Amino acid sequence: NAGVTQTPKFQVLKTGQSMTLQCAQDMNHNSMYWYRQDPGMGLRLIYYSASEGTTDKGEVPNGYNVSRLNKREFSLRLESAAPSQTSVYFCASSEGTHIEAFFGQGTRLTVV
Amino acid sequence: GENVEQHPSTLSVQEGDSAVIKCTYSDSASNYFPWYKQELGKRPQLIIDIRSNVGEKKDQRIAVTLNKTAKHFSLHITETQPEDSAVYFCAAWGSQGNLIFGKGTKLSVKP
């Protein structure tokens, strides 16, 4: 039982490059989330998926797209990376709302 | 939209002292309030949570209190130990099914 797994753990991109961060959970959770964590800013919600087939914008969605590929997987795509997107990205999942959310180990992304 | 304010941003205490972190939320529909602890370089992990039908919950040295009327909830850590040093986040669920976090409190416990 791996919980929430993110790939890659580390990534360096050049400005303008694109990439997809992968997230998968094996807990049969309905809801999944993408957060970014910057010093002093806490965990800010980028996008979330309350259930398979739905996605919604969070607090900071600009520059990102998401895909809820199936119930297990929720990917985050940067189409044209910018230095402002340098951050640690966390994926999380929960069985539903108003219940514990479990986090992946994070992806440290640097855009140069 | 939902907003969660957390104070203080940093907190330094001596080992054995108590630490208190406070949060306020804006969405009246919120009814579940988790607290997460994040050690350096690690993922956030749940340490305690409280639902709106109770005012206080304890788990050994950790307690959380909730004042739903005032939309306040607080984390209390007693007899702090160096291993309590970490960043602590409060959170609240928004009515849209989104989980919103406070900006975090960096707790340092000095031996």
Strand-strand pairing, B86-93 and B32-38: antiparallel
**Cβ-count burial of B78 within 10 angstroms (0-12 exposed, 13-18 middle, 19+ buried)?**
middle
Q: Give the whole-angstrom CA distance, residue B23 versus residue B64.
A: 11
Nearest chain A residue (CA) to B2? A59
Strand-strand pairing, B56-59 and B19-25: unpaired
Is the dihedral angle over the CA atoms B84, B89, B90, B92 positive or is it negative? negative
B9: chain A residues, CB-CB within 8 Å: 40
Q: Tens digit of pLDDT per residue, chain B (111 long)?
A: 678 999 999 999 999 999 999 999 998 888 899 999 999 999 999 999 999 888 999 999 999 999 999 999 999 999 999 999 999 999 998 888 889 999 999 999 999
> How many Cβ pairs within 8 Å bridge chains A and B?
58
* Alpha-helical segments (H) within chain A: none
Of A52-56, A85-89, B32-36, B93-97, least confident by mean pLDDT is B93-97
Contact B99 A100 (CB under 8 A): no
Q: Give the whole-angstrom CA distance, residue B109 versus residue A96.
A: 35
